[in-house]
Structure 1
Amino acid sequence: MDKSGMVIVIEDDADDQFVLEEVFKELNLPNKRIYFPDGHTALRYLNGPSEPIFLILSDVNLPRLTGLELRLELKKNADIALKCVPYLYLTTSVNHQHLIDAYCESAQGFFIKPSEYHEIKDLIELIVKYWTASTAIRAT
């Protein structure tokens, strides 16, 4: 994890992408953000050479490759695993099995998307503060 790295958001809903970007701007998050509409596109990007990454925020229910499937694929990539990038789910899914599967695959967080803007902002602020305060391991 590189605290100055970019934030990867994997979210197929354009409205949710817009809201998240507004929240990041309002919180003055200096990190670059990249948005992907599905897990397959994100996987292709993440498997290639990329800039340092701070956080990955992923929906669970995504087209082509779900957030859970994407997490499994990323764990197979030793280069990505060594970067110790926090993989967090931010989803509307309240499926109990999704929650179990996410934590069984070592997700660092599973958050249900609030419906109100101020609640989303508070949640994102909490997530960013937590990971900014945590001690990072830098891959060599």
Structure 2
Amino acid sequence: MAKTGPILILEDDQDEREIYEKVILSLGVKNEIKFFEGGDDLLRYLQVTTDRPFIIFSDINLPRMSGMELRRQIQADEFLRKKSIPFVFLSTIESAEIVEEAYELTIQGYFVKKYVLSDVQKQMGQILDYWRDCKHPNA
């Protein structure tokens, strides 16, 4: 994780993508934001990029490859796993079983999506502040 590296957002809903971009920019975050519609697209990017991403925000229900499957693929690949990129789910799913499954994949956070702009801003700000301040093996 490089604190100045790109923020990777796996989200297939265009409206939510626009909200996340607006919120991150309103927080004064200077990191580049890269959006992906499917987990397979993000996985291919991670396998070939020389970028050192700051964090991955992922929805769960996505076309082609779910956020859960993406996380499994990252964990199964030693090269990607050792990049130690913080992986956070942002989802509408509140099921205890899904949350438990997500944490079994050693994610670094699971948050239920907010829909009021001020709540999205607060949630995103808290997550980004935490990871900016956190000590990390690849920082």
Taking structure 2 as the reference length, what is the TM-score of the superposition?
0.96
Displacement of 1:82: 1.2
2:82: which partner in 1?
82
Percent identical pairs in the alignment equals: 31
Q: Distance in 2 between matches of 1:94 and 1:127?
A: 18
2:116: which partner in 1?
116
2:103: which partner in 1?
103
Gaps of 5+ in 2: none
1:7: which partner in 2?
7
Q: Secondary structure at the match of 1:103?
A: helix
The one-letter amino acid of 2:27's match is L
Q: Which runs of 4+ in 1 moved over 2 A?
A: none
Please list the CA deviations of residues 19-39 of structure 1 after superposition, one character each: whole Å capped at 9, or x if unmatched: 000001101111111000111
Displacement of 1:130: 0.4
Q: How does 1:125-136 map to 2 (within 5 A)?
A: 125-136=125-136
Displacement of 1:100: 0.9
Displacement of 1:59: 0.2
Please list the CA deviations of residues 33-70 of structure 1 after superposition, one character each: whole Å capped at 9, or x if unmatched: 10001111111111112311100000011111110000
1:41: which partner in 2?
41
Q: Pairwise CA RMSD of aligned residues?
A: 1.1
Taking structure 1 as the reference length, what is the TM-score of the superposition?
0.95
Contact 1:61 1:93 in 2 (8 A): no
Displacement of 1:97: 2.0
Q: Distance in 1 between matches of 2:74 and 2:126?
A: 25
